[in-house]
A and B are shown apart, each in its own frame.
Chain A
Amino acid sequence: MKKLMTGVVGGFALALMAGTAMAEDTTLTIATVNNGDMIRMQKYTDDFTAANPGIKLNWVTLEENDLRQKVTKDISTKGGQYDVLTIGMYETPIWGKKGWLVPLAGIDDPKDILPAVAGGLSVDGKLYAAPFYGESSFVMYRKDLMAKAGLKMSDTPTWPEIIAAADKMTDRAAGINGICLRGKAGWGENMAFLGTMANSFGARWFDEKWHPQFDTPEWKAAITTYLKVMKDDGPAGASGNGFSENLALFQSGKCGMWADATAAGSFVIDAKASKNAADVGFTIAPDAGFGKRANWLWAWALAIPAGSKKVDAAQKFIGWATSKHYGELIAAKEGWANVPPGTRTSLYKNPEYLKVPFAAMTLASMNAADPMHPTAKPVPYTGIQFVAIPEFAGIGTKVGEIFSSALAGQISADDALKQAQDYTTAEMTKAGYIK
C-alpha cells in the first residue's frame, strides 16, 4: 500500500511538472480547424516567431464541428482558454455584435481585402475577424465527357443547361453519374448547397418579417429540380454524400459535374490524387433567370476573443498570418496554387497567381456573391448559404435532415417542404422573431 501511495503521489507530481514545463513555453493559444491551409500555416510559424522572439505559439487543431462547439463554450463563458480563434462568416457578425470579440487593428493593407469578405466579417464598419482564406462555389466538370456528349460548357450556365448536360453525360453502365451534389444533412453540408440553389431560383429563407418561405413556389421549384436531377443523374446513396464523399467520386472519375466549394479546385487538378486531373474545367455556378447565381461565400478568419489577456501579441499574429507577406512566403516555398485563396484583391492581380487554373473562376465566383442581397427578393438577414442569426445552426441542421430524407426517398418533396415550414415557423416563434 505504501508503494501504491508513493506511486500515486509521484505520478501526480510528474504530471504536474510536465504540465507546468509545457505551459512555460507558450504564450498564444490558437484554436484552428484542420483544413489544409491551416495545417500548412503551422509549418511556417518560424517566420513569425523569428520576427517576434517574445511570442510563442501553441496550436489547438480540431475538426470543424468540435472546434465550433469548444470555441462557443469558451467565448460565451469568457473562459479565456484561447487567444486567437478560427471562426467563419457565420459566427463573426453574431459574436462581434455581442461584444465577444476584440476589434482588429494592425491588419496589413485592410483596403486590399475583397469587399464582400470584409463586409461579412465586420459589424458597423469595424473588422472583427481577418480572413485567412475565402471560398465561393462553382461547377467543376469533365471536359472529356462533355466533348463525348457533343456539348460545350457555357461561361454563364443556367440550370436547364446544367441538367441537360447531366442527362447526356450519365452513363450508368460505365459508372458515370452526370452530376454529384451534396446530400448529407447539416447546415454546413447539404443546406450550404441547397440554400444557394434556392437563392438562384428566387427563393429566400425568410421574408422581411422573418416568416419562413418554404411554402412558396420558388422553394418548391428548387427542391423538385434538385430531387429530380439527383434521381436521374446523381450517384447512388447521395443522401450520405458531403464534400469529402463527392470529392472522392469526382477524383475517381465517377462524376461528370460537381458543384461545390472553390477550395476543391486544388484537389481535383492534383494529378497524384485525381484520375482525370488534366480534363477538369471550371465554370461559374448556374442561375435560373432570377439574376442570382447559386454560389456561396465563406471565409475562415482569425479573431481575438474578448476574454484573452494577450491581445497585443494576438493582434501581431493575426497581422502576420493574413498579410501579403505570408502569401508570398507560401508561394516561394510551396507554389502559387497553395497560397490561401479568396481574401485579397492584390493576389488576383498577380500574373503568377492567375496561371493557376481555378484562380480566375474563384475570383469571379466570389465577386458574384453578395451576402447583403443573397436572393432576388429583399431579406432581413445577411449571409448567402446561411442566415446570420444564432438560431440558424439548429434550424439549418434540422431542415437539412428533412431534405436529406427526401433525397433518400423517405418522404416526398411536398412533405419535406411542409415539415421544413412547420419546424422553422415553430422555432422562429419560440425565439421571438415572429410575433
Chain B
Amino acid sequence: MARKQSTRRTVAITILAWFIGLLMFFPILWTAVAAFKSESDAYTLPQNMLSTPWTLENFGIVQERSDYFRYVFNTVIIAVLSTLLGLLFAVPAAWSMAFAPRTTPSSTISGWGWLAIVFSCGLIAAGVLYANGWHPQNAVVGFLLLLLCIVPPTAWVWTRATTDTLLWMLSTKMMPPAGALIAIYLMFNRNGLIFKDWGWINLSEYNLIDSFWGMVPLAMLLNLPIIIWMLYTYFKEIPVEILEAARMDGASLWNEIVRVLTPMALPGIASTCLLNLILAWNEAFWSLNLTNKYAAPLSFFISEYSSPEGQFWAKLSAASLMAIVPILIVGWFSQKQLVRGLTFGAVK
C-alpha cells in the first residue's frame, strides 16, 4: 500500500528540490547569459544582465581566434576512442570478476610478507642507484631496477581476491592527478624517460605529448576503474545460470560474452559508455598539461580565453557555452538511458 503523504510536505519537498536544482543550475545560466553580453556588462557589479543589450560579438571573436571545430573533432576522437578502447578491456575484466571471481588470495604469503618483499626490492633498487651515483647511464640497469620496483606490487595485486582487486582499482582514482604529473610528463615527453637517444636506438624524434597516441590511452586508463566497476555491478545482476546454459549448449567463451552476456547487459553498457564519454569530454587537468594544439580538446580551448590582462568573462563564457553544448545535447537526449543505467540494480 502506498504511504500517505501530506500535501504540505509534498509542496515543501518540491520547493526545496527546485531551489537546489536552480542553485546548481545557476552557474550555467550565468555563463549562458554572460556569453551574450559585452565584456563591461558581464563584469559590472551589481549585475543588470536583463536590462543591458544582447550581442553575438563574443561568439564571433571566439570563432575568429580559435578553430572551434578542430577542438570539437579532437574531443570527439579522444572521448569516443577512449570509451571504445576502455570497453575492450573492461568487458572481459568485468566478466571474469563477476562470473569467475577468486574468493581467497592465491598466494600464501602474508600481508607483512608482501610488505617486506616490496620494501626490500625498493631498498635494493635504491642501493644500486646509490652505488651508480643515482644516474645509471646503462639502460639495461635502469630497466631492471624499474622492473624490481614494479613487479612485486603488481604480483601482490595479481594474487588478491577479486573484491580486493576491485577496491584497489577504485583506490587508484583517489590519488591526486598532480602527484603523477611529472612522471607521466617524463614518460610522454621527448628526451624524457623513454623517448630519448638510448645509444643503440634513437627515440628522441618521437613523443606522446600532444598526440592522440598519448591522449586516447591516457583518457581510457583514467576512467577504466570506473568502467570496470560499473560493468561489474551490471554483470552481477545477470543470473549466472543463463551463461552456464549457453556453455552447456557448446558456446565458446567469445560467443558467451558477445552473443549472450553483452545483449543482456546492453542498458548497463550504454550508460557506462555515456558516463565515460562525459568524463572524457570534461577532462581538463591532463589535457591542459599534455596537449598544445594537434590533440588539444575543448577544455584546452576554454582555457585560452581566461586572461589576467583585460576583460574576458564574456568571451570565456561564450567559449564555455560552445564547449558544453554538444555534450549537453547528447546528455539531454540520453538522460532516460543514463538514469536507468545508473539506478540499474539499485532496487532489489
Contacts and interface: CB of A to CB of B under 8 A. Distances in A.
B65 interface: yes
Contact of B304 (A12, A63, A73, A274): A63
Nearest to B258: A1
A31 B304 CA distance: 12
A15 B192 contact: no
B303 interface: yes
B206 to A, nearest CB: 12
B81 A34 contact: no
Contacts of A243: 308-309
B185 A273 contact: no
A18 B80 CA distance: 16
Interface string B290-318: 00111100000001111111111000000
A39 interface: yes
Nearest to A10: B81
A189 B308 CA distance: 9
Interface in A1-44: 1, 4, 7-8, 11-12, 14-16, 18-19, 22-23, 29, 31, 33-36, 39
Given A8-B88, A244-B43, A35 B191 contact: no
Contact of A80 (B185, B190, B294, B303): B190
Given A15-B81, A15-B212, A63-B304, A263 B40 contact: no
A60 B293 contact: yes
Q: For B40, B185, B288, which residue has the most chain A Cβ atoms within 10 angstroms? A: B40
A307 B191 contact: yes
Contact of A58 (B258, B288, B293): B293
A396 B258 CA distance: 59
Contacts of B312: 244
A386 to B, nearest CB: 15
A58 B65 CA distance: 13
Contacts of A11: 77, 80-81, 84
A34 B309 CA distance: 8
A80 B311 contact: no
B210 A79 contact: no
A19 to B, nearest CB: 5
B207 A63 contact: no
Contacts of A247: 310-311
B216 interface: yes
Q: For B189, B308, B312, which residue has the most chain A Cβ atoms within 10 angstroms? A: B308
A384 to B, nearest CB: 18
Interface in A158-181: none
Nearest to A263: B309
Interface string B206-220: 010111110010000
B69 to A, nearest CB: 12
A333 B216 CA distance: 43
Contacts of A70: 288-289, 292
A212 interface: no
B186 interface: yes
A242 interface: yes
Interface string B71-111: 00100010011001101100000000000000000000000
A59 to B, nearest CB: 8
Interface string B224-246: 00000000000000000000000
A312 interface: no
B303 to A, nearest CB: 6
B6 interface: no
B51 interface: no
A-B pairs, 5 with minimum CB distance: A248-B43, A15-B212, A79-B189, A63-B306, A60-B292
24 contacts: A4-B84, A8-B81, A11-B77, A11-B81, A12-B216, A16-B212, A18-B77, A19-B211, A19-B294, A31-B292, A34-B305, A34-B306, A36-B310, A39-B65, A61-B65, A63-B308, A77-B191, A78-B191, A79-B192, A81-B210, A251-B40, A251-B43, A267-B310, A274-B40
Interface of B: 38-40, 43-45, 65, 73, 77, 80-81, 84-85, 87-88, 182, 185-186, 189-192, 207, 209-213, 216, 258, 288-289, 292-295, 303-312
